Amino acid sequence: MPDHEKAIVMGSPHLEKETKLQQRAGSLPNTVIKHANDADEAMKAFAGYEGEFIVLDEATSKKLLKRIDLHLMPLLCIVYGLNYLDKTTLSYASVMGLRKDLDLTGDRYQWISSMFYFGYLAWEYPTNRLLQRLPLAKYSSFCIIMWGLVLCCMAATKNYSGALAVRFFLGVFEAAVTPGFALFTSQWYTKKEQGTRVGIWFSFNGFAQIFGGLIAFAIAKGVRLHGAAIAPWKIVFLVTGLLTMAIGALFLVFMPDNQLNARWLSPYDRKLAVERVRVNQQGIGNKHFKFYQLKEALLDPLTWAFAFYALVADIPNGGITNFFSQLIVSFGYTPEQSLLYGTPGGAVEIIALIVCGYLGDRYGHRLLISTSGLLTATLGMVLIVALPLSNDGGRLAGYYLTQASPTPFVALLSLISTNVAGWTKKTTVAAIYLISYCAGNIIGPQVFRPKDAPRYVPAEITIICCWVASVCDILFIYWYCKYQNKKKAAFRSQPGYSKLENQEWLDLTDRENPEFVYSL
């Protein structure tokens, strides 16, 4: 079968006739019928219900949504917060004796910072394929437990080479969390709900920054006052690593792979949970690799617009994430104070992400509203560059404003859930997006050169330029999605066009499904 031919199934006795009508109408060119395995997992929920009409009224949908939120969101939020905390533990450790104990002279600290993303980069596409192929929750749980174990191993490192190895494998196992959580969100929530939910679980990066700063400060102060058998930075790694392993075990027990094996839903409610996301035109999962969807992902301009943003916007992220403690020290504060004074930045991130996510979903302009956070962050970096070293309070306030920068990244991450259909295509686009994210984060620490301390002006100017370019890219994505929606609307209005029964469950891509509407 040629690569461009798409195998579909619907469970309808009139499928072949309807498909031929669609082909004549031009809505499903070169489409053929094959077998049930090519359709979405959602088709299993309705096996034996052909011809029956499942009613899902608004009150039932809201009640079901509350139950889904109650069981899914706490786990997603806590694990994603740990994902950020475990990456940034290195920044806390850098001012708690790690640099001296591991002899991180010259640019060694920069390379340890970047090595995490080499592991992330190397495993990102394979882990996306495994997320599609294996049970989603079980594979995610395995990765969470393993990255907690690897983080504990950081406390046992005695030299530079050992730290490099640990950071590489930490990146390997954390590579699954962001694309996996995007898939969870896509499975369980409608398009109008996804931006808010992604903003909420991503905002736990900010909670993790607050929690991590307080824990690191408490450990540093406790060791200074009472002493300890091991270095304080090792205690930080052990505490965060063991906590991650414990949460990973809970994730394994309580997180379902999809609606079909959610133990806290009755068999009928599982069908309702699938029915409520029919509007997404995406289904809930398909484990079969489809080469034509891979090809479409690689040729889609949106894929590379997403990738450009992830690359350019995460150069600042890679630098600030690993150097924020040292940056605060450069403002004139002590290393111990830097652990505590970094925490308000987390509050700024939480507010920015939740507010932008909510307003974006409410007003239907997720992309445009998300740029407000990036513009706020750019203002903050301008303050850091422009204010004199003596104005430590003003520069610290500038740092806090920079923590609003993730809002467009999160908006685009939610748009991978919302605006990319076809499960092979979705996992491919997510992989490319996060590979670009890794590349940006690898470059980021390298722009903070030791010779530029304490002001790091070249790095700060680089960050401003990257954020301005990122805003331009967001505007292009907004225009392109709007243009594609107009084309699809014109196509649907043609004489002879008709929508197929259960077309939502055919694992069609966003480009080939004429009913698919891009969110803005």
Task: Using the predicted structure, report yes or no on whether residue 121 has a pLDDT greater than 50.
Answer: yes
pLDDT at position 320 is 82
Task: Using the predicted structure, report yes or no on whether residue 4 has a pLDDT greater than 60.
Answer: no
Looking at the chain, the whole-number percentage of residues with pLDDT higher than 90 is: 57
Q: What is the mean pLDDT of residues 224-250?
A: 93
Instruction: Give residue 50's pLDDT band: very low, low, confident or very high (50, 70, 90).
Output: low
pLDDT at position 359 is 94
Four-CA torsion 141, 142, 143, 147, nearest 10 degrees: 100
Task: Using the predicted structure, report yes or no on whether residue 29 has a pLDDT greater than 50.
Answer: no
The string of DSSP codes covering 240-298 is HHHHHHHHHHHHHHH--SSGGG-TTS-HHHHHHHHHTTGGGSS-S---S--HHHHHHHH
pLDDT at position 70 is 97
pLDDT at position 285 is 75
Determine whether domain 58-492 maps to CATH 3.40.50.620: no
pLDDT at position 7 is 35
The first and second tokens of residue 81, run together, are 């917060």
The values of phi and psi at residue 46, to 5°, are: -110, 10
Instruction: Give residue 483's pLDDT band: very low, low, confident or very high (50, 70, 90).
Output: very high
Mean pLDDT of the chain: 86
The DSSP symbol for 8 reads E
Task: Using the predicted structure, report yes or no on whether residue 49 has a pLDDT greater than 70.
Answer: no
Q: Where are the domains of the chain?
A: 58-492
The first and second tokens of residue 90, run together, are 């290195």
Task: Using the predicted structure, report yes or no on whether residue 294 has a pLDDT greater than 90.
Answer: yes
Write down the pTM of the prediction.
Answer: 0.82
pLDDT at position 79 is 97
Which of the residue ranges 199-203, 378-382, 389-393 would you say has the lowest mean pLDDT? 389-393
The residues that bridge with 8 in the sheet, in sequence order, are 33
| CA atoms of 254 and 451, how far apart (whole Å) | 49
Which of the residue ranges 3-12, 403-412, 479-488 would you say has the lowest mean pLDDT? 3-12
Pick left, alpha or beta for residue 112 (phi over 0 → left; psi -120 to 50 → alpha; otherwise beta): alpha
- Higher per-residue confidence, 76 vs 339: 76
Work out whether the CA dihedral 218, 219, 220, 222 comes out positive or negative: positive
pLDDT at position 441 is 86
pLDDT at position 46 is 62
- Higher per-residue confidence, 15 vs 100: 100
- Higher per-residue confidence, 227 vs 197: 197
- Decide: 190 and 276 in contact? Cβ < 8 Å: yes
The DSSP symbol for 358 reads H
Place of tokens 């049930």: 36
Position 432, amino acid: I
Task: Using the predicted structure, report yes or no on whether residue 38 has a pLDDT greater than 70.
Answer: no
Q: What is the mean pLDDT of residues 502-516?
A: 85
pLDDT at position 259 is 92
Instruction: Note the pLDDT tens digit of each residue in 299-337.
Output: 999 999 999 999 999 999 888 876 777 778 888 888 888
Place of tokens 């308000």: 344
278 Cβ contact partners less than 8 Å away, ≥ 6 residues apart: 42, 504, 505
Pick left, alpha or beta for residue 111 (phi over 0 → left; psi -120 to 50 → alpha; otherwise beta): alpha
- Decide: 4 and 292 in contact? Cβ < 8 Å: yes
Four-CA torsion 90, 91, 96, 98, nearest 10 degrees: 40
Instruction: Give residue 39's pLDDT band: very low, low, confident or very high (50, 70, 90).
Output: low
The values of phi and psi at residue 49, to 5°, are: -110, 15
- Higher per-residue confidence, 281 vs 471: 471
pLDDT at position 9 is 37
